[in-house]
């Protein structure tokens, strides 16, 4: 049987089975009928469409955060896992024709689940898992990376080509490239090499008309927008071309933990004064968590782009309070450092190819995250208040991540890309609390929201900034005024994520997708919808 006939037969059988389920699946019927018509026009693969009646459907919804599914319990009408660009184009065409919202999923690490849930129905998911090719040109120091590839697959493929090339992106290997790159992409090398989105030099994207655009045809405004402004507000990113960075053959890592009884308060305080100022080859990331009901552990998880012998004098001069010794340090290759940071020390590098979602603490569970930026050191009194919050019962499975800035961040303009968090930041805070039982959700949400409210006095203001890749639906959702327009609501979180770049992003959205076809609960709104809402409100 030809591929064309096989595809048609497969879709026809799904369509026939859905007819037996009654009128509740009429959206599926219409969509599948549209796809059947579209798929007859080209030679396409099979086994790419999943409905709730399919045995594989539930496994495709497996993601990092169980909370997202409970807060947005509506399930997608369909999940499409395309192999070919033409299949994505057909899905876009049919979704637009029938008014079916699209969510685009690459790795499933969206903290609020906006890539695989929706507050409104009907909707479908385009799962990019089959778009995972990574092509490295070691001579040109570039790579084409499809949006469905994971960071681990990217790192592994680079390591096969070169021992002295790397890429500055996240420490969790199962994160999908599509969302991570287009939203920023902080790295253990970011003080030296900035973030992932700063290294994008070309991209391919499908717009709302189903057209395939590259940098030349999309224009510089749209190309600017998808490098930190989130790709799914503007289209479906197929792949990115990125520049790779030079790394030493041997790097140094360590993870040193100190408790309150071991003078952690003073050590953390000193860290605030040096973390953004030390040698840019050194990134001292700090993790704070209760180790039991009585004390706090401060873990300094570190990458140094060089050998132990070069690291020790820096630490002895800049941060002697930590008491680092050579025995605390390990030398390894850059790709092996990702095993260390992911907790895979006893595994071989091919574990980076495992796409199974990882939870915050290694297990899939419920969690809530928030973020902040700090431009002045938190006083010791404030640190002690933080310890008090972490030692509360609801904070027993909480963690704070302090990620240092400085270095190359201080040399890049806030408007170079939509990611605006550059000069003037000492570090970024990521707050997360984890729980196992859904009945405990409200208590833990109240705890982290209360903690976040308390921290307002110690973080940036006007706006109180946040990191887009640590998506937080609490931002901008505290109003009950139904007359507020989509644009007004979006500007609350938009200014926090993007500062003044938000207005330019709205301009790009208005030009590229004025009908707001590509949208979610925190997508960039077009100015057209804002003006229409204003006009309609004033006319009532």
Residues annotated as catalytic (active site), given as ranges? 470
Residue 146 β-bridge partners: 239
Q: Where are the beta strands (DSSP E) in 75-232?
A: 78-80, 101-105, 123-127, 134-137, 142-146, 165-166, 200-206, 212-213
Radius of gyration of the chain (CA): 24
The pair of three-digit structure tokens given for residue 527, joined into one six-digit string: 């100015």
CA distances from 38 to 34, 43, 123, 146, 309 (A): 6, 10, 19, 24, 62
Round to whole Å and give the CA distance between 233 and 498: 14
Round to whole Å and give the CA distance between 422 and 500: 13
Q: Are strands 282-290 and 212-213 parallel, antiparallel or unpaired?
A: unpaired
Terminal alpha carbon distance of the chain: 60
Greatest alpha-carbon pair distance for the chain in Å reads 74
The three state secondary structure string of 114-155 is CCCCCCCCCEEEEECCCCCCEEEECCCCEEEEECCCEHHHHH
Using the structure block, give the residue that is written with the tokens 């493929």.
157
Round to whole Å and give the CA distance between 54 and 478: 38
Round to whole Å and give the CA distance between 475 and 493: 5
Round to whole Å and give the CA distance between 409 and 276: 10
Q: Are strands 49-50 and 78-80 parallel, antiparallel or unpaired?
A: antiparallel
Round to whole Å and give the CA distance between 271 and 514: 47
Q: What are phi and psi of 248, to 5 degrees?
A: -65, 155
- Please check whether residue 352 is in contact with residue 173, taking contact to mean a CB–CB distance below 8 angstroms: yes
* Cβ atoms < 10 Å from Cβ of 34: 18
H or E stretch covering 92: helix 85-98
CA distances from 170 to 132, 183, 522 (A): 17, 12, 22
Secondary structure (DSSP) of 327-372: GGEEEE-HHHHHHHHTT-TTS-GGGGG------TTSS-BEEEEEEE
Q: Sheet of 200-206: strands edge to edge? A: 134-137, 142-146, 236-243, 200-206, 212-213
Round to whole Å and give the CA distance between 49 and 454: 47
């Amino acid at each position: 049987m030809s591929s064309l006939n096989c595809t048609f037969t497969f879709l026809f059988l799904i369509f026939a089975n859905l007819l037996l389920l009654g009128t509740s699946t009429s959206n599926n019927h219409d969509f599948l009928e549209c796809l059947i018509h579209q798929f007859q026009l080209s030679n396409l693969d099979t086994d790419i469409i999943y409905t709730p009646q399919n045995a594989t459907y539930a496994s495709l919804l497996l993601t990092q955060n169980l909370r997202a599914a409970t807060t947005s319990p509506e399930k997608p009408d369909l999940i499409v896992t395309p192999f070919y660009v033409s299949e994505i184009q057909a899905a876009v065409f049919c979704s637009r024709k029938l008014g079916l919202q699209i969510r685009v999923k690459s790795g499933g690490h969206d903290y609020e689940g906006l890539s695989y849930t929706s507050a409104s129905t009907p909707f479908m998911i385009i799962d990019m898992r089959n778009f995972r090719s990574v092509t490295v040109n070691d001579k040109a120091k570039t790579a084409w990376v499809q949006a469905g590839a994971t960071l681990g697959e990217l790192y592994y493929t680079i390591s096969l080509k070169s021992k002295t090339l790397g890429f500055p992106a996240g420490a969790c290997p199962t994160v999908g490239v599509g969302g991570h790159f287009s939203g920023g992409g902080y790295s253990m090398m970011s003080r030296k090499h900035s973030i992932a989105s700063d290294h994008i030099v070309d991209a391919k994207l499908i717009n709302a008309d189903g057209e395939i655009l590259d940098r030349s045809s999309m224009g510089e405004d749209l190309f600017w927008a998808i490098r930190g402004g989130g790709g799914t507000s503007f289209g479906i990113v197929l792949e990115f071309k990125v520049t790779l960075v030079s790394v030493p053959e041997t790097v140094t890592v360590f993870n040193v933990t100190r408790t309150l009884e071991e003078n952690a308060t003073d050590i953390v305080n000193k860290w605030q004064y040096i973390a953004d100022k030390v040698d840019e080859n050194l990134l001292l990331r700090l993790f704070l968590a209760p180790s039991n009901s009585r004390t706090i552990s401060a873990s300094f998880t570190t990458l140094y782009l060089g050998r132990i012998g070069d690291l020790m004098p820096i630490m002895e001069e800049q941060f002697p309070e930590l008491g680092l010794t050579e025995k605390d340090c390990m030398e390894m290759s850059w790709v092996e450092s990702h095993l260390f940071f992911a907790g895979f020390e006893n595994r071989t590098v091919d574990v980076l190819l495992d796409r199974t979602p990882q939870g915050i603490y290694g297990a899939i569970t419920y969690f809530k995250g928030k973020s902040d930026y700090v431009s002045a050191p938190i006083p010791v009194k404030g640190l002690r208040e933080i310890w008090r919050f972490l030692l509360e019962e609801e904070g027993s499975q909480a963690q704070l991540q302090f990620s240092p800035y400085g270095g190359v961040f201080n040399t890049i303009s806030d408007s170079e890309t939509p990611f605006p968090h550059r000069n003037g930041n000492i570090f970024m805070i990521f707050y997360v609390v984890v729980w196992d039982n859904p009945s405990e959700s409200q208590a833990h949400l109240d705890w982290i929201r209360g903690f976040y409210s308390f921290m307002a006095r110690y973080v940036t203001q006007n706006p109180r900034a946040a990191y887009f890749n640590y998506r937080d639906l609490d931002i901008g959702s505290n109003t009950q005024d139904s007359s507020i327009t989509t644009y007004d609501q979006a500007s609350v979180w938009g200014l926090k994520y993007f500062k003044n770049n938000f207005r330019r992003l709205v301009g790009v959205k208005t030009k590229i997708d004025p009908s707001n076809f590509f949208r979610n609960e925190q997508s960039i709104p077009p100015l057209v919808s804002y003006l229409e809402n204003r006009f309609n409100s004033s006319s009532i």
